[in-house]
Amino acid sequence: MSDLTAVDVAVSPEAKFREYLMTQGMRLTTERETIVREVFASHEHFDADQLVSRLNQRTDGKRVSRSTVYRALAQLKDSGLLRAVARPNDREVYEHDYGYPQHDHLICKECGDLIEFVDDSLNEMLSRVAAQNGFRISAHRLEVYGKCANCCRPKRRQRKTDMI
């Protein structure tokens, strides 16, 4: 993963989520707030089970059920705060879609490694193609699948003499 620098935002993720929930006739419960804070504590890709595990390791006594985590992740996705990235092993991982710049992914089909990148020339090309077609881009998502540098390296063969 590359080091994407956080973008300054006027509204905190908690406040943004609270606004979204209000439009849905819901409120930001203590459990949902705990989840949002944990999700935005670091910019790491994670799956639902990893988040549940992190929440269960907390020492502040705030417990959150697995079903609440799954529902909150769906709500965070619907609100535009998170987005899901599909991994080759069919395991969906989440990442911040709020507070970080537009970026794209290279995904290794062998080991599942995820490499984030920003390429302004790609954005320029998309803008040019959209303009040529009278299309207005609201967002884009690019996931390129292949093999990472580590998986492309030739495997070292083990000789029988090395095993002695």
Q: Is 49 annotated as a binding residue?
A: no
Cα-only R_g, the chain: 20
CB neighbours (10 Å) of residue 15?
13
Helix (H/G/I), strand (E/B), else coil: 116: strand
Residue 90, burial from CB neighbour count under 10 angstroms (0-12, 13-18, 19+): exposed
Q: Is 152 annotated as a binding residue?
A: no
Closest CA to 82 of 69, 93, 67: 93
Helix (H/G/I), strand (E/B), else coil: 95: strand
Q: Which residues are annotated as a binding site for Zn(2+)?
A: 108, 111, 148, 151
Q: Which residues are annotated as a binding site for Fe cation?
A: 104, 140
Q: Which residues are annotated as a binding site?
A: 104, 108, 111, 140, 148, 151
